[in-house]
């Protein structure tokens, strides 16, 4: 709030709004709720709050069994040449790559079709924008967000090969046929984040995607 042109009242009201729902508020809606004339000031304030949410979440790492995967979020780049034919699918220039880790917590076994099945539930999540899917990048970023010695479940992508030779974690590769069963939470997290951002903000600049993900993970 230092040197801000907005009153403390506006700051605290914005904090209440941004934290009062599992979803989000666009800067335009916060501007309407506060009755403020200048959109740019409200937009900057919202991103400062999202940035602080990320700083808070950086204070901890994931400490139970973790499902790990990469997500691809469609973003806008003001420096991109949109007349140029862009690559489609995985690695497309239209998308920003995000490393996603989701804690999979064991809960009590339940009786299902005369057979006891151990259920899991979602714990904390981490979502970090990364600049590539190179093995070194994934290894470095994984070590930042997941505690030492934790079991890490991934798909069979070669990008995670370096984790197999790393004493830092205990990697477990999941076969494609078992992905939905053994990696349910990380893909649910990616899907929910995409839907939320698309519904609320319609378009996102790649420079600010991390801030929006900070808010999603914080909540």
Q: Is residue 70 within a helix (H) or strand (E), and if so which, with residue range?
A: strand 66-74
Report pLDDT digits (tens) over 173-199: 777 777 777 788 999 999 999 998 888
Q: Is residue 141 within a helix (H) or strand (E), and if so which, with residue range?
A: helix 135-145
Q: Is residue 2 in a domain?
A: no
Q: Are residues 91 and 52 in the same domain?
A: no
| Angstrom distance (rounded) from CA 66 to CA 101 | 6
Report pLDDT digits (tens) over 195-211: 988 887 777 888 999 99
Q: Tokens standing for 153? A: 């479940």
Q: Are residues 38 and 131 in the same domain?
A: no
Q: Are residues 76 and 45 in the same domain?
A: no
Q: What is the mean pLDDT of residues 131-158?
A: 88
Average pLDDT, the chain: 84
- Tell me how far apart the terminal alpha carbons of the chain are, to the nearest angstrom: 22
Q: Are residues 37 and 118 in the same domain?
A: no
Instruction: Decide: 52 and 15 in contact? Cβ < 8 Å.
Output: no
Of 78 and 199, the one with more pLDDT: 199
CATH code of 172's domain: 3.30.420
Q: Are residues 79 and 21 in the same domain?
A: no
- Is the dihedral angle over the CA atoms 206, 154, 170, 117 positive or is it negative? positive
Q: Is residue 132 in a domain?
A: yes
Q: Are residues 211 and 189 in the same domain?
A: yes
Distances (CA, A) of 70 to 13, 25, 118: 35, 26, 26
Q: Are residues 40 and 116 in the same domain?
A: no
Q: Are residues 177 and 95 in the same domain?
A: yes
Report pLDDT digits (tens) over 4-37: 888 899 899 999 988 888 888 888 989 999 999 9
pTM listed for this prediction: 0.84
Q: Are residues 171 and 121 in the same domain?
A: yes
Residue 214 has pLDDT above 90, yes or no: yes
Q: Are residues 125 and 107 in the same domain?
A: yes
Domain that holds residue 135: 66-218
Residue 58 has pLDDT above 90, yes or no: yes
* DSSP β-bridge partners for residue 118: 109
Q: Is residue 3 in a domain?
A: no
Q: Are residues 25 and 75 in the same domain?
A: no
**Overall domain count for the chain:** 2
Q: What angle do CA 145, 53, 36 make, to 5 degrees?
A: 155
């Amino acid at each position: 709030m230092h040197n801000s042109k907005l009153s403390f009242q506006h700051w605290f009201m914005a904090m209440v709004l941004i934290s009062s729902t599992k979803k989000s508020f666009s800067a335009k809606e916060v501007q309407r709720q506060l009755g403020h004339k200048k959109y740019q000031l409200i937009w900057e304030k919202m991103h400062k709050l999202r940035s602080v949410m990320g700083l808070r979440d950086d204070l901890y790492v994931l400490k139970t069994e973790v499902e790990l995967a990469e997500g691809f979020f469609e973003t806008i780049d003001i420096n991109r040449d949109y007349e140029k034919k862009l690559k489609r699918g995985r690695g497309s220039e239209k998308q920003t790559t995000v490393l996603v880790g989701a804690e999979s917590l064991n809960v009590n076994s339940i009786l299902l079709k005369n057979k006891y099945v151990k259920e899991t539930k979602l714990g904390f999540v981490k979502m970090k924008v990364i600049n590539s899917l190179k093995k070194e990048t994934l290894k470095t970023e994984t070590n930042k967000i997941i505690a030492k010695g934790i079991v890490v479940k991934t798909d069979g992508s070669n990008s995670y090969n370096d984790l197999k030779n790393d004493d830092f974690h205990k990697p477990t590769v999941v076969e494609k046929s078992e992905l939905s069963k053994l990696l349910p939470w990380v893909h649910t997290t990616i899907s929910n984040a995409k839907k939320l951002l698309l519904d609320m903000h319609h378009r996102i600049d790649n420079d600010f995607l991390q801030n929006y993900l900070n808010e999603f993970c914080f909540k």
